[in-house]
Amino acid sequence: MGFIDTIKARAKADVKTIVLPETEDKRTLDATEKILKEGIAKVILVGNEDTVKKSAAEGGYDISGAQIVDPATSDKTQGYIDKLVELRQKKGMTPEQAKEILLNQYLYYGVMMVKMGDADGMVSGACHSTADTLRPCLQILKTKPGTKLVSAFFLMVVPDCEFGADGAFVFADCGLNQNPNPEELAAIAASSAESFKMLVGKEPVVAMLSHSTKGSAKHADIDKVVEATKIAKEQNPDLVLDGEFQLDAAIVPSVGASKAPGSPVAGKANVLVFPDLDAGNIGYKLVQRLAKAEAYGPVTQGIAKPVNDLSRGCSADDIVGVVAITAVQCQNN
């Protein structure tokens, strides 16, 4: 059984309700049919019922098992308006503004459904930027208790790979934090380890990546990673974490033994924490394209309830995979 099949099986074992607000996109409707057929999740689609059904019929998609919620006619909408005003009144939110937002911006409506307990999680981003997907989450759901930072990772599954956890890795942060400081990098490492354990089911081994291994080069960028490693170890004494490592020293046993002898992480890492967003984003796309890896994400971590982003280049099957991951996150929330 492949990795995503295992995730789907876990999702089916305790079915959650996921809201998909991007009903203007045919990939959402295609994915909805597949999700319902496989029994991965219950699906709520946000939009005008006639328009959504017509679009599905034109594409030949059977979405008859989905719940379609129209913000303009739902009896829940006024409650969402009132709650949004309550949550954002310090920012000057008025009832008129809240109504305008919820009737016209379906991502906000989907997040309010999650906030009010009418859905367990949300997946969006097929036709919205990461910023547009995450803004309502940060405004309405806020960060998870005990979490200092919202970050994003990719779950990478590399075929025929002897490294990581049989080719499975978490790469972070690849989608959100541009240039994290040492404290933020340490928080990303801790959250990523937790996400790896939850989704892969194996012990995380965390490498803090750099262009240096254990002092082999000198630069302020390396100092940041060294400091982040120190903070992360102090805050998470039970976590198997070390750095700073070049990539080969982190994942290749022979190189790790040569460059960082005695390290519990060198050559064994399955959670790779990149020093900044440039490195993380470039790294995951290289592995996805050149190694033909499956790349699921960007999956968010640190939000109070599970909401996940999609790449705008995603396929319907990618959406299905991220919905399955989100459902498993909901089970553990």
Cα 173 from Cα 276, distance rounded (Å)? 7
Please name which of 46, 68, 50, 53 lies closest in space to residue 112, comparing C-alpha atoms: 46
| pLDDT in the model for residue 289 | 93
pLDDT band, residue 96 (cuts 50/70/90): very high
pLDDT tens track for 283-322: 999 999 999 998 887 889 999 999 998 888 889 998 999 9
Mean pLDDT, the chain, whole residue set: 93
pLDDT value for 19: 98
Predicted pLDDT of residue 328: 95
pLDDT reading at 197 higher than 80: yes
**Alpha carbons 153 and 242: distance in angstroms, whole number:** 19
What pLDDT does 1 receive? 62
pLDDT digits (tens, 9 = 90+) for 243-270: 899 999 999 999 999 999 999 999 999 9
Gyration radius of the chain over CA positions: 21
Token representation of residue 85: 């005003």
pLDDT tens-digit series, residues 133-144: 888 988 899 888
State yes or no: pLDDT of 184 exceeds 80.
yes
Give the dihedral of Cα atoms 292, 296, 300, 302; nearest 10 deg. -90
